[in-house]
Amino acid sequence: MTSFPPALRVAIVGAGPAGIYAGNLLATAVSARPDADVEIDLFESLPAPYGLIRYGVAPDHPRIKGIVNSLHEMLDASSSSSRRTIRFIGNVEVGRDIALDELRERYHAVILATGAIRDAVLDIPGVELPGSYGAADFVAWFDGHPDVARTWPLDASSVAVIGNGNVALDVARVLAKHAVDLRTTEVPDNVLEGLESSAVTDVHVFGRRGPADIKFTPIELRELGEVRDVDIVLYDEDFEGVDPASAPNNQLKVMLRTLNGWRERPAGTASRRLHLHFWHAPVEITGDGEVEGIRFERTRLVTGEADAAPRLTGTGEFRDYAVQAVYRAVGYYGTRVVDAPFDEARGVVPNAGGRVDGETGLYATGWIKRGPVGLIGHTKSDALETITNLIADAEAGLLTDGPGSVTPSTGEGDVLDLLDARETAYTTWDGWLALDAHERHLGETHTYARERVKVVPREEQVAVSSQAVSRDGALVR
């Protein structure tokens, strides 16, 4: 005999890929059961869904943004069915508009999928100087995040980007790229205007390790070489002993061959340059009241005992570069939920297989579960583990007597009644469809034809989400 609730109610906090994948997997799993239904409420602190896909991927990456299409299908199919399975509730921050305990009173289970939107700490002197920026903040700006200032200082001619991952490449590429080449993307108008006034001529990307340890993907790297009027500059000293043929996998072989191909190019005459430096560990950001330079120690790998991995160490050689801005792309840090357990050191919710430590009925998935590493595909498999354990707990009867069994999710117990009573301006899936259509209409009628023009201010997103649209996407006011 099963103890599985006949109407399982689950809240998911975060409507990025992690939350949407978890909701879709849960809905699919429960739909296969003859003895149960499921109702899932997907809470998002922003008015629109999709998380870092909307606000963390560079606007000139349409292939990656194509993931939105599959996420849209998951939510749209559920919301358009005769009986709702997944309900989107946007512009609601758990811990501000509603407490975590209030969710747990209304649902059998709560899944935390808040991801990571803050920059990881780089603990070196001078990191707080004006002109030192976190990459996550810059990405949020050029992606039109509603909670970021509308302007960005772009008066530096020489810029340093610290990091050897895809985020570092995104930041470097957007800084080096001419604004005119972004006109056909969904970059917001205020961002396009800012980039058009940029003074940048040289962007330097620094990695602690060598070319054989880069964390890019081949597509990201290859796109660098396709940027118009930007020369890629490499330094032979960084490639001593690097042999693409000895790379442990095909992906790295391809990237090393790409780098070697750029090294063999004749010196260019482009108006902007993107320098790739390796074996540089940041030591100090220098300047009197603002960023004026950055100091690095050259590094190398030291082989230890037979079974030990080579260890990165400093060489004692220091180098200074004159730059007027520094962008720190050294990783992300998890977004905590008020009153949920949180590991400050790792920036994650402590858990085992997605089950939050010491909390029956509370789960985690995505970057807040495992840390900010891995690609979208990892997020899907990550969600599968969490959902598998949630269903196992439901079958074992662990959720029927928990905090979620107190109040039904319909009628007077519907969470929307609570939000209405508090006059919370939440958005819905239909509201997102209205905003989506409006942004596409703005793109079609823009001076530079594009797929969409993002609405940036939060208040405007909420206002548009509450209005109807005509068949051509124009607002019906």
141 is in an annotated binding site: no
166 is in an annotated binding site: yes
| Separation in Å, CA 246 to CA 242, 253, 256, 313 | 8, 8, 10, 22
What does the chain come to in residues?
A: 477
| Separation in Å, CA 444 to CA 37, 196, 285, 448 | 41, 22, 44, 8
Report the distance separating Cα 163 and Cα 135, nearest Å: 10
**DSSP string covering 178-192:** -GGGGTTS---HHHH
Amino acid present at 384: L
CA 135, distance to chain mean position in Å, is 11
Of the candidates 58, 63, 56, the residue with the CA atom closest to the CA atom of residue 18: 56
Is residue 359 within 8 A of residue 12, CB to CB? The reply is: no
180 is in an annotated binding site: no
What pairs with residue 12 in β-bridges? Answer: 42, 111
209 is in an annotated binding site: yes
165 is in an annotated binding site: yes
367 is in an annotated binding site: yes
Q: What kind and span of H or E run contains 285?
A: strand 280-286
Q: How far apart are the first and last CA of the chain?
A: 55
374 is in an annotated binding site: yes
220 is in an annotated binding site: yes
Of the candidates 61, 15, 46, the residue with the CA atom closest to the CA atom of residue 451: 61
Is residue 363 within 8 A of residue 386, CB to CB? The reply is: yes
Residues in Cβ contact with 180 at an 8 Å cutoff, skipping those fewer than 6 apart: 196
Report the distance separating Cα 172 and Cα 327, nearest Å: 9
Of the candidates 166, 278, 184, the residue with the CA atom closest to the CA atom of residue 228: 184
Is residue 161 within 8 A of residue 36, CB to CB? The reply is: no
435 is in an annotated binding site: no
Record the tokens describing residue 260, joined without a space.
């070697």
460 is in an annotated binding site: no
230 is in an annotated binding site: no
> Which segments are annotated as binding site?
18, 44, 52, 94, 164-167, 208-209, 220, 367, 374-376
> Which segments are annotated as binding site for NADP(+)?
164-167, 208-209, 220, 374
> Which segments are annotated as binding site for FAD?
18, 44, 52, 94, 367, 374-376
